[in-house]
Structure 1
């Protein structure tokens, strides 16, 4: 099952957006990440394609773009779906062998504690235990959340929420957010008692966990779902942008299937509940890997409907979007730009693809917030931004980071990461290259 992410033009007079020629040559982070799995487990990408009845990465990409159905992957039942997903995690965590490389492909056995990693025999399990024991408990949560995430696709998660009863500035993090949810235990109980939760454990090939474990899993996935809109809200507050003063436009730059797969037009409505009385907000997803779906509709040239959160998207590179849509006034200039895990630190190819966008954000002095997975990624990203002479206004741990742990897919015995763990805020060119010597004003 892929990672989640979640019409007609409003004005017939708008010119259709042309597909930028550069988009076809743009570095594809999804493709690079997919291929990088083979450096840890040779042949793993082929196994994933094989299990999903695909011949190439292009088939996989078509699935991400919503152009394939479950039956195209050989999936006929719920059991097929969960089994094929689990099969893509089957390789020996110690020697990295895949089932086909073993005398008996069925000899792989799962760790009974975490229900996550596999071993080809007792010798490999014993050799791996000194490392695995550091992460076994966390990986148990990873394996559970990976299955319960299906309820995001069915619509059981998230549960209905209410208008915030406290000012956004007084909500310090998820503990405060959950405290505002009326009848929280009843809502969690309804998810656990739902039809799809029962179908999940009837077909997952694993025993159903205790109710307390499932409640905590649902809570973690709720934070994962709402992390992006609440991080946008945090960005508005950090830059002093008032949603009650005027309609706002937010651009999500570098958007991919992670942000847009199965996205519904209501998925960012928590922003409206975060700022009661807000004047209207448009969130535009911009990226070469934006998935076709309900939010694939042209950005608005004028302010969106008052009091509502309006989602739209553009499939292409941000600097092309700026030139073809913003400068021609077919789309509104943003009040805030947000990039979730841009990844420009990862390799030179990705940095080259991001460079025109980073320079545009700097030179047009656009208030910008980026998120990263880890402290290591934070340091690497800060160094690049300093070298580009960008004014870094702050960086810190994100109070609305997802609480759902995620493993490095092909190398599970590493500390799990959490989406949007840290943020960086930028505004215009730097006054001096050594601006970080005094630390962050957000620490």
Structure 2
């Protein structure tokens, strides 16, 4: 789960089990009840496991939160797990951040000079990890009309400013009985309302960062959604992009580009999770003015040969990879090599994201060695604002999803146009 590889799944899903602790969902004739911020209304949508019938050993919400927390229970100083201690219950949590554990006072004192540098940030990490359960079970997704983007939306501050009745929407999430249920079972004290409000906002950016980053890629390459229907391939997609994904999750692109001719976003990867978007890519044009999600479970070069070259799927106007991680080790690079060469040789406009500057430099070096023409790289104005810790070594600066982007197009030797000089037609 370290930022150098792939981000872990958001949280442990809630098994659908009978009993007084897990109330039954109310019957609904239509789809989920959602507000205009994109949250499913927690009072009307009781979480159900993505793997119904599986036995996670969880019978109550308290059990679920304990299972979530067990992942982080080890002494950050000596690295001992509870099983290695005479008394597994002797681990004590830092009262300030509610995140890291120590097996005793000696380890806590020894670790404090390092931990104090990150304690405040790790408090946010621990809070967001719990509050994400609300978002994950309802998932921040859009169902009702929301504001269309104006020309001055340059980052999340502008994005939140254009949301109508933002405080009322956040207040409804904070005041819902599932927020109360969360803190009654989390085993941690409920934070101040202001802290919870900011946590919800960070998690909203975490969810919307992916579709908005796709929109950023379209703008960087000068690809015009109003001119023709577009196809976007998300390469290397895994459970991070597809677990519990709904067909409406990328509708923010429609608000970004009102009046577009139709977009299809195809999730391609060996770890794509089965669900509502596990449906074949479109061979014909998608619905005008809508974003259509589809997926393919497998390697990208196999998808290209079996579907794109045979015209069972459309050639992409843009390819996006969220944290491909090919810089992390030789084995990952070897696995990515056929895809990287395909993207280069077919001159496909591509946008990859990374967690930090170190990953940015390593990835740029690899692309240079592959003689790929990098057309731009910079900090992503729509990076997730949710901090994430390095699991095995929490006392490090937190990482943020999609912090930087790399745009590349074709081989370095070719006279490929620079960003801003590209034709809107990314097809033939």
Aligning the two structures, in what range does the TM-score lie when normalised by the shorter sequence? Answer: 0.7 to 0.9
**Secondary structure, counterpart of 1:296 in structure 2:** coil
5+ long unaligned stretches in structure 1? 4-28, 35-47, 53-65
Residue matched to 2:341: 359
| 1:266 alignment partner, one of 239, 242, 248 | 248
Aligned pairs for 1:80-91 within 5 A: 80-91=63-74
- Whether the 8 Å contact between 1:371 and 1:420 is mirrored in structure 2 is yes
- Whether the 8 Å contact between 2:50 and 2:244 is mirrored in structure 1 is no
| 1:236 alignment partner, one of 215, 218, 225 | 218
- Whether the 8 Å contact between 2:244 and 2:275 is mirrored in structure 1 is yes
TM-superposed deviation, 1:153: 2.3
CA separation in 1, counterparts of 2:128 and 2:50? 26
| 2:102 is the counterpart of 1:109 | no
TM-superposed deviation, 1:157: 3.4
- Whether the 8 Å contact between 2:263 and 2:286 is mirrored in structure 1 is yes
5+ long unaligned stretches in structure 2? 16-48, 421-428
Residue matched to 2:147: 163
Residue matched to 1:20: none
Post-superposition CA distance 1:114-146 (Å, at most 9, x none)? 000000011100100010011000000000000
- Whether the 8 Å contact between 1:401 and 1:421 is mirrored in structure 2 is yes
CA separation in 2, counterparts of 1:95 and 1:215? 35
Aligned pairs for 1:55-66 within 5 A: none
TM-superposed deviation, 1:72: 1.2
> Which aligned runs of 4 or more in structure 1 are off by greater than 6 angstroms?
none
- Whether the 8 Å contact between 1:156 and 1:191 is mirrored in structure 2 is no
| 2:251 is the counterpart of 1:257 | no
Q: How many residues align?
A: 378
Q: Greater share of helix residues, 1 or 2? A: 1
- Whether the 8 Å contact between 1:251 and 1:284 is mirrored in structure 2 is yes
CA separation in 1, counterparts of 2:112 and 2:292? 49
TM-superposed deviation, 1:68: 3.9
Q: Using structure 2 for the length normalisation, give the TM-score.
A: 0.85
Post-superposition CA distance 1:224-250 (Å, at most 9, x none)? 000000000000000000111111000
Aligned pairs for 1:183-332 within 5 A: 183-332=165-314
Residue matched to 1:137: 120
Task: Return closer, same or farther for 1:153/1:209 CA change in 2, 3 Å cut-off.
Answer: same
TM-superposed deviation, 1:302: 1.1
**Secondary structure, counterpart of 1:73 in structure 2:** coil
CA separation in 1, counterparts of 2:398 and 2:154? 23
Residue matched to 2:401: 419
- Whether the 8 Å contact between 1:70 and 1:76 is mirrored in structure 2 is no
Q: Using structure 1 for the length normalisation, give the TM-score.
A: 0.82
CA separation in 1, counterparts of 2:385 and 2:67? 26
- Whether the 8 Å contact between 1:163 and 1:274 is mirrored in structure 2 is no
- Whether the 8 Å contact between 2:141 and 2:249 is mirrored in structure 1 is no
Aligned pairs for 1:353-432 within 5 A: 353-431=335-413
